[in-house]
Amino acid sequence: MSKLENILSQQVKSAVKELYGIEADDKMIQLQKTRPEFEGNVTLVVFPFVKAARKAPAQVATEIGDWLVNDKIVNDKIVNKFNAVQGFLNLSIADSFWLGQLEAIAADENYGQLQRPTTNDQRPLMMVEYSSPNTNKPLHLGHVRNNLLGWSIAKIQEANGWKVVKTNIVNDRGIHICKSMLAWLKFGNGETPESSGKKGDHLIGDYYVRFDKEYRKQVAELMANGMNEETAKKEAPLMKEAQAMLLKWEQGDKQVRDLWAKMNSWVYAGFDETYRKMGVSFDKIYYESNTYLEGKSEVEKGLAAGQFYRREDGSVWADLTKDGLDEKLLLRSDGTSVYMTQDIGTAKLRYQDYPIDKMVYVVGNEQEYHFKVLSILLDRLGFPFGKELVHFSYGMVELPNGKMKSREGTVVDADDLMEQMFADAREISKDKVNTLPDITDEEANEIARKVGLGALKYFILKVDPRKNMLFNPEESIDFNGNTGPFIQYTYARIQSVLRKASLSGEAGLTVQRSDSVAVQQQSGLNSKELALIQRLADYPSVVRQAGDDFSPAVICNYAYALACDFNSFYHDYSILNEPDEAVRALRLTLAATVAKTIRHAMDLLGIEVPDRM
């Protein structure tokens, strides 16, 4: 609750108690921003009091308004005027309150950083798992959404007072990588990233696609010879070879392991480059090849404890029918482990490594069932954290003709997309950026990088993470309107103003108490200034809501609204040419504070802001 809401809430409670004898709880105090077509800053919805007051809504509104303005409030009298429209009481808050808010916000170096109750002076620890790629193909747009969400959520939770550890579990073993390895052995002629000039992850991805192509050919051949599809898929020699390779891998066959290590190292080099370009990183990386054995042993323990059962063929299962779910395989009949097994082991190791208070998995909504099961299994195995794990389940990125599929080549590649964004940004900014004084090629490129990436990140993060979103490769991502560059541009314009102010030796960059008093006594705040201060004052509660909801989109909406408010103000009023010194100081402070808040909000989104563009 903001300071304004706090004060008003108290006063309204007093009012309705005195007027009607109502003991109002927080739920009954409904405050909202006044709609622009009415006069006022804050609106109280009075319907909750109408029944007990036994009066018409408009009359109740008028009586409460009257009380707030005229009655014997000694401290914090902040309501100046009011008007009542039906059951809505529109309140005008005194300039002195807003000016005080601005002074406080301007002075707060860490505005937007929230505190969280601590135990033993330790911030609670949240671990955020995101990215978690397979090592058989390069990252695509779906991964981009995951990475941007994971990064942003980590930043948002830090701003909400958590200590955050970002982690990545790399799915580096399994049948998928064996397929790439096999295709490379058969068709690769020793191709390496060096020899071909390809990025390692792309090279491996090409062989994954190659495997699929050859495999399908074999299946088609078998079917042409009269075999049914199901059998053909199992009997195709390539598939059998891949499975044999996986078994060799688990047995530790040196040749297979060496090849595996070599090819994975190519992939990691490629991933590192993509991550760097995207601007994401991790505090701790786990590899499935190091955790799956731990998972196996946990399953064995659970089996011994009677939590699980073994079937005749040797496979191990969990019976979840009591929880309203199915039976779930934990170990295959040949003793090899599955995805779930690995996740159990990873969870255990993580809790050994860190004093985790909350574990968050940023994983697509297609895996909701998996995490429901994982939660129950961890709980059964006696891990106290099982029940409370959070599956941050986000929606798919869809193309106009449906889902992306690696094997069908209908994917938007992460590297290509980012390069395209840089190129677009460079093209769009050409006329504009080249006119900036003393601009170097280097800076121009850097601006294009920040803006292109900003456009992409904002485009993805502004959508409610829970919902599926659509990306149309035919239409380029916008740089105008409700976009990252729009907000970056607002920031750059403010920086330009601030640079000029400091050049001309404007001392009072920060509004002082005396300025505030002068402003109050003279013109007062204009509506655009007031709207901006009110917006700035909202920021902490927006950060809190984004944290509670795990939603970067909330931050996007706020940053956009703040930029809109500023642009409107900037258009209507001059900052540097304002003759009145107190007003000039106020506006400079306002501009600097908006810039500071934009930078903070954009940082929560992982978006950099350029000083010029």
Partner RNA sequence: GGUCUGGUAGCUCAGUUGGAUAGAGCAACAGCCUUCUAAGCUGUGGGUCCCGGGUUCGAAUCCCGGCCGGAUCACCA
DSSP assigned state of 350: H
Of 274 and 495, the one with the shorter C-beta distance to RNA is: 495
Q: What angle do CA 449, 450, 456 make, to 5 degrees?
A: 90
First to last CA, the chain: 36
Which residues does residue 164 pair with via DSSP β-bridges, in sequence order? 126
Of 30 and 410, the one with the shorter C-beta distance to RNA is: 30
* Identity of residue 255: Q
Of 282 and 479, the one with the shorter C-beta distance to RNA is: 479
Of 51 and 217, the one with the shorter C-beta distance to RNA is: 51
User: Closest distance between RNA and the C-beta of residue 250, in Å?
Assistant: 11
Of 358 and 403, the one with the shorter C-beta distance to RNA is: 403
Instruction: Report the distance separating Cα 560 and Cα 105, nearest Å.
Output: 19
What pairing do the DSSP bridges indicate for beta strands 42-45 and 402-403? unpaired
Which of 459, 455, 461 shows the shortest CA–CA distance to 488? 455
Of 164 and 181, the one with the shorter C-beta distance to RNA is: 181
Of 164 and 232, the one with the shorter C-beta distance to RNA is: 232
Instruction: Kindly list the distances between the CA atom of residue 608 and the CA atoms of 278, 438, 444, 484, 604, in Å, as whole numbers in the listed order.
Output: 11, 21, 15, 10, 10
User: What are the φ/ψ torsions at residue 173 (nearest 5 degrees)?
Assistant: -135, 160
Contact 138, 413 (CB under 8 A): yes
Contact 222, 235 (CB under 8 A): yes
User: Closest distance between RNA and the C-beta of residue 400, in Å?
Assistant: 8
Instruction: Report the distance separating Cα 490 and Cα 566, nearest Å.
Output: 8
Of 339 and 383, the one with the shorter C-beta distance to RNA is: 339
User: Closest distance between RNA and the C-beta of residue 209, in Å?
Assistant: 16
User: Closest distance between RNA and the C-beta of residue 27, in Å?
Assistant: 6
Contact 119, 352 (CB under 8 A): no
Burial track 190-203 (b if 16+ CB lie within 10 A, e otherwise):
eeebeeeebbbbbb
In 488-585, where do the E strands start and end?
A: none
User: Closest distance between RNA and the C-beta of residue 102, in Å?
Assistant: 18
Of 68 and 164, the one with the shorter C-beta distance to RNA is: 68
In 358-449, where do the E strands start and end?
A: 358-364, 390-394, 397-399, 402-403
What pairing do the DSSP bridges indicate for beta strands 358-364 and 390-394? parallel
Of 140 and 193, the one with the shorter C-beta distance to RNA is: 140
Instruction: Report the distance separating Cα 44 and Cα 68, nearest Å.
Output: 11
Instruction: Tell me the longest C-alpha to C-alpha distance in the chain.
Output: 95
Structure tokens at 124: 């609670």
Of 463 and 530, the one with the shorter C-beta distance to RNA is: 463
Encode 260-290 in three state secondary structure: HHHHHHHHHHHHHHHHHHHCCCCCEEEEHHH
User: Closest distance between RNA and the C-beta of residue 35, in Å?
Assistant: 5
User: Closest distance between RNA and the C-beta of residue 340, in Å?
Assistant: 7
Instruction: Report the distance separating Cα 94 and Cα 82, nearest Å.
Output: 11
Which of 160, 284, 49 shows the shortest CA–CA distance to 542? 160
Of 123 and 466, the one with the shorter C-beta distance to RNA is: 466
Structure tokens at 541: 């509660």
Q: What angle do CA 57, 58, 61 make, to 5 degrees?
A: 85
Of 248 and 612, the one with the shorter C-beta distance to RNA is: 612
User: Closest distance between RNA and the C-beta of residue 421, in Å?
Assistant: 11
Instruction: Report the distance separating Cα 359 and Cα 128, nearest Å.
Output: 6
Token pair 């060799």 is found at 248
User: Closest distance between RNA and the C-beta of residue 206, in Å?
Assistant: 19
Contact 315, 329 (CB under 8 A): yes
User: Closest distance between RNA and the C-beta of residue 450, in Å?
Assistant: 9
Of 193 and 485, the one with the shorter C-beta distance to RNA is: 485
User: Closest distance between RNA and the C-beta of residue 498, in Å?
Assistant: 9
* Identity of residue 601: A
User: Closest distance between RNA and the C-beta of residue 7, in Å?
Assistant: 17
Structure tokens at 29: 């105090």
User: Closest distance between RNA and the C-beta of residue 369, in Å?
Assistant: 4
User: Closest distance between RNA and the C-beta of residue 462, in Å?
Assistant: 6
